[in-house]
A and B are shown apart, each in its own frame.
Chain A
Amino acid sequence: MVYCIGHNIISPLGEGSQANVQAVRAGRSGLKLHADRFADVEPFCASLFDTPQEFVPLCVRSVEDALEMAIGRLPLAIGSLPETIFILSTTKGDNLDLLTPAQTIAQHFGNPNPPIVVSNACTSGVCAQITAKRLLDAGMYRHAIVIGCDLQTRFIVSGFQSFKALSPEPCRPFSPDRQGLNLGEAAAAIIYSSQKPEVRDQPSWILEAGSIHNDANHLSAPSRTGEGAYRCLTDVMAGVTPADIDLIGVHGTGTLYNDDMETIAIERAGLQDVKKSILKPFFGHTMGAAGIVETIIGLEMLGKGSFIKMLSGFGGVNAAIRLTCK
């Protein structure tokens, strides 16, 4: 069994998982128009930190806070243990360097293992949690500290603008008049352990299943039939029925193709009547952080029950995980 024993989100909406959940509940959005952030870049709507952040210190702060929560549930400080692995989910890392920041973060906590970076486009945050589950299930490690972080740069914004993928206004996922996505910044950490938490206060979320599938269709547009996403959903639904699922955290970027594809995949998997959570209008698309941020918000919103988080990304890749808390 793989238990979630701690988590944290730092975003423009607040510092800490609870602060971010409260912001979402209050309907606050981090999305704003930015006209002068990057030279040459046309004005764009995004959720950015007021003060530009540094990648490594931001991730370290997020992990420290998540560890604080974990220490209350496990008897040891786990960051420095040889049975703990650091896994970083990011698409552009610290100014295009992905491995060095992961190494610096692991070293900061005195961890002896070379860290793993998962770079599977927009699905990275869900894929990193799947990697954690596999390594823990295989008994290779006992604890996994999974971090998701991306900060917006001139590089990323100019690229998405060249794709004409950005909405000039706050995004409207699944609306017929949606115009595209908004980018966002965040760091988030989630700690998994195969050691049953010594909990008196509350039950723990268990990462039950994870699946990754490629559409094998197109690099930058999802399959019209939602093939990869559909296969991920049926994989994580093995042994349960749609009536058992309380919430699906969809990707919901607000682009024409993504939202249509997700609707098709969800209907094909018989999950059309399950409640959906759509978080891009609050956080924007936080890229490598999205899978972690949106998982944590989903778990905290539900309190207990059964939750599916799904994502899709460039390269035709799709991923989904299912967590339960009884």
Chain B
Amino acid sequence: MQVIHDIEITTTSVLLDGKTIAVEQTGDKLLVELYRRYAGDYPKFFKMDTLSRLGFIAAELLLKQSAISDQQLVDAVILANRSASIKNDTDYLATITEGNYYPSPALFVYTLPNIVTGEIAIRHHIQGETSFYILNSPEQLKPIVASTLTAKHSTALVGWCECSKQDNFYAKMQLIWRN
């Protein structure tokens, strides 16, 4: 397994292929800053929950680093985290409090962690596998990825994509190639 590009996004920093990208904002606003700087052409971004924004931006930066031919080869998106979609679940719960019951379909759609893999697939026209796992640690994802990437799956976006509450997220994702 060979790492083509890797990215780490915290609430205060972005590290792409080992190089720091200077940013002005922190927390949720950092993701909006990155969107404006590196995407900007996909207003659907603003409908997304933080987990999807995080995965979307990480994928955007990883694939921007690649030649277009690499992008067309991506045929699996395999992500994991510890706390599923708990941040957005909590936001949805706030719309169904007793005595103030107005369930929001716009929030409910994001109450599944695999939605972020769907957002990435739609953005980059990836019709291969999308999978989401809930694990205790990023290490646990490695054997799962290794057993998923057969000869058929040669290139994949994989990694950890976590958002447990507002202004609290962490992504470490890679574009990898099985050679």
Contacts and interface: CB of A to CB of B under 8 A. Distances in A.
Interface in B65-122: 77, 82-84, 86, 89, 92-93, 96, 98, 101, 103-105, 108-109, 111-115, 117-119, 121-122
5 contacts: A121-B112, A215-B121, A231-B127, A314-B109, A315-B114
A253 to B, nearest CB: 16
Given A116-B140, A163-B108, A214-B117, A140 B147 contact: yes
Contact of B130 (A114, A118, A316): A316
B56 interface: no
A315 B134 contact: no
Which bracket fits the contact residues of B?
Answer: 35 or more
A162 interface: yes
Given A119-B113, A140-B147, A317 B130 contact: yes
B111 A159 contact: yes
B125 interface: yes
Contacts of A158: 96, 101, 103, 108
Given A120-B114, A162-B103, A314-B109, A93 B84 contact: yes
Nearest to A38: B96
Contacts of B114: 119-121, 313-315, 317
Interface string B126-158: 111111111111001001101110000000000
Contacts of B101: 40, 158
A159 B140 CA distance: 32
Contact of B144 (A40, A97, A135): A135
Interface stretch (A182-190, A194-202, A216-224): A216-224
A212 B134 contact: no
A119 B134 contact: yes
The 8 closest A-B pairs by CB, nearest first: A315-B118, A117-B134, A159-B108, A134-B147, A162-B103, A214-B121, A40-B101, A162-B105
Contacts of B131: 118, 120, 127, 131, 212, 317
Contact of A155 (B93, B98, B124, B147): B93
Contacts of B130: 120, 212, 214, 315-317
Nearest to A154: B96
A98 B122 CA distance: 26
**B contacts with A: majority SS:** mixed
Given A93-B84, A98-B84, 19 more contacts: A96-B86, A114-B137, A114-B140, A116-B133, A119-B113, A120-B114, A131-B131, A155-B92, A163-B109, A212-B130, A212-B131, A214-B130, A216-B125, A219-B118, A220-B109, A313-B114, A316-B121, A316-B130, A317-B117
Given A117-B133, A138-B146, A213 B127 contact: yes
Interface of B: 77, 82-84, 86, 89, 92-93, 96, 98, 101, 103-105, 108-109, 111-115, 117-119, 121-122, 124-137, 140, 143-144, 146-148
A227 B118 contact: no
Given A158-B103, A214-B126, A96 B144 contact: no
Q: Which of B103, B109, B114, B143: most chain A CB closer than 10 A?
A: B114
Interface in A52-102: 91-93, 96-99, 102
Interface string A22-54: 000000000000000001100000000000000
A104 interface: no
A96 B84 contact: yes
Contacts of B124: 216
A121 B118 CA distance: 11
A131 B140 contact: no
A300 interface: no
Q: Which of A93, A121, A135, A220: most chain B CB closer than 10 A?
A: A121
A313 B118 CA distance: 10
Contacts of A39: 98
B22 to A, nearest CB: 33
Nearest to A139: B147
A213 B108 CA distance: 23
Nearest to B99: A40
